[in-house]
Structure 1
Amino acid sequence: MPQTAAIHPTALIDPDAELDASVQVGPYAVIGPHVRIGPGTQIGAHCVIEGHTRIGRDNRIFQFASIGAQPQDKKYAGEPTRLEIGDGNTIREFVTINTGTVQDAGVTRLGDDNWIMAYVHVAHDCQLGSHVILANAVQLAGHVHLGDWVFLGGLTGVHQFVRVGAHAMTAFQARLAQDLPPFVTAAGNPAEAQSINAEGLRRRGYSAERLAIVKQMHRLLYRKGLTLEAARQQIDALRGELADADADIALMQDFLASASRGIVR
């Protein structure tokens, strides 16, 4: 990798790494041979980026982050598993993101426009959508899946294999050991469902009528004393009431149908 004005002379970049000419690399950063970094991305001082890691365009990775290290899994035996990071992500200080394992898809993925605050850990095989916000010190165990627009409050801990649906949200220090359905807010240790993420949905352009359908789904899941199967049947009956909300109903139904760990109650 040739030295340019955008790469600090103290940075250690393997000659086999592939960095776009517009990438900026700060002092004492270390970048390994299997790393690919797209245009406009900024790498802060003392970052370590290693493993089979692909990073898209216009990301900003702050100082002291550890990106693409081996999974913290005793079964890992050196397989060339991967980390893929999309475009426009912000990854703050001391964040750790590991590659995948062959026991899963072999890849950890982050989508686009995610905001990952300081001291967050994203373990092996996690799958993050886009527009996700992880507040300071959120800890994701292995195989966790987060949908688009998820917000996890500071110090939230998420058990391995848990899924969090799109637009869901947790409060400070929540502990998630079961799946959290789309649109739902949760708090506590263990986490319990509270309401819907109404303010977040309004910011994303949800109309009052569409919000009313989401609220009705929440009531059927949590306020009517129904079994999960009975709630799903009644949620399905909401289809057709508002064309814009049919996608929300489908999102909820698909999530509930595959909730292998049970849902947060």
Structure 2
Amino acid sequence: MIHPTAIVDPGARLADDVEIGPFCVIGADVEIGAGTMVGPHVVIKGTTIIGERNRIFQFASIGEDCQDKKYAGEPTRLEIGDDNVIREGVTLHRGTVQDASLTRIGSRNLLMAYAHVGHDCIIGDDCIMANQATLGGHVHVGNHVILGGLSAVHQFCHVGEHAMAGGGSIITKDIAAFVMVNGHPAEAHGLNSVGLKRRGFARETISALNTAYKTVFRQGLTLAQALEQLEAEPPLAERDIFITSLKASTRGLTR
């Protein structure tokens, strides 16, 4: 299952059925789980742990030293879950000791061609990064997030669950869960209603989230005033996720 032109360090730990394509380079501290396919000309290095049934396409660079100028060769790692699709030319960098020494990508994500995930980023499950979407260092992305092509997220930003950014968006502040943003700089343009419908959210839940969105983004309230109103509402798990994402903001909200 390993092409004769590939260079695989004897210290690498590969499941028996892993496929390694032509001209790949696999480093000593790499671990690759069962059912994973690595296409031609892929470089995987550093302490990089890749789960099962991932598909990595040609010219991807996985687990490379990060581009942070403070990085001085310290041992850091990259962890990737299961069932991800990592397309051509994607770059995924390891973490830094200034954070948790870890970049982590969950499961069932689609990283389209030339997407970039910077050091210390944390990506959840079921996300899509379209072509050339870029994450600066220390970005946290929740589950079910979609980042359009050529979008860029500033370092240390948080993107809440089920959020969506349109193509070419320049994101310099946090994005609340369930919110759709677009523009340069990005601005909020409503609830991600279409995405929620496609994922099977009940009509009543979407309506409640839309009301919560308007409370925060359309009534001219301060964030503290809006939170006070939201927390007075009857309990709703999805609204609690929205509230939690608002409280977690450290860079200010994209509004």
Name the TM-score class by shorter chain: over 0.9
Alignment of 1:54 onto 2:44: no
SS at match of 1:250: helix
The 2-side partners of 1:136 and 1:237 are apart by 41
Matching residue's letter, 1:193: A
Which residue is 2:247 aligned to? 257
TM-score (norm 1): 0.95
Question: Unaligned regions of 5+ residues in structure 2, if any?
Answer: none
> Do 1:236 and 1:249's aligned partners in 2 also have CA atoms closer than 8 Å?
no
Q: Which residue among 31, 38, 47 is the counterpart of 1:36?
A: 31
Partner amino acid for 1:251?
A: I
CA distance in 1, matches of 2:232, 2:110: 36
**Structure 1 residue 216 and structure 2 residue 211: aligned?**
yes
Counterpart among 69, 85, 93 of residue 88 in structure 2: 93
Q: How many residue pairs get matched? A: 255
Q: Say which SS state the counterpart of residue 243 (structure 2) adopts.
A: helix
Moved over 4 A (4+): none
Q: Aligned partner of 1:137: which letter? A: Q
Structure 2 residue aligned with 1:243: none
In structure 1, runs of 5+ residues without a counterpart are 1-5, 241-245
Distance 2:85 2:151 in 1: 19
SS at match of 2:220: coil
Q: Displacement, 1:50?
A: 0.2
3-state DSSP class of the match of 1:87?
A: coil
TM-score (norm 2): 0.99
How far 1:248 sits from its partner (Å)? 1.1
CA distance in 2, matches of 1:132, 1:31: 26
Given the alignment of the two structures, is residue 68 of structure 1 paired with residue 58 of structure 2, yes or no? no
CA RMSD of aligned residues (A): 0.7
1:207 aligns with 2:197: no
How far the C-alpha of 1:238 sits from its partner, in A, is: 2.1
Residue 239 of structure 1: how far off its partner (Å): 2.6
Tell me, in whole angstroms, the C-alpha distance in 2 between the residues paired with 1:138 and 1:172: 8
Question: Quick one: which amino acid aligns to residue 62 of structure 1?
Answer: F
Distance in 2, matches of 1:107 and 1:41, equals 21
Do the aligned residues in 2 keep the contact of 1:34 with 1:52 (CA within 8 Å)?
yes
Aligned-partner SS, 1:119: coil
> In percent, how many aligned pairs have the same letter?
51
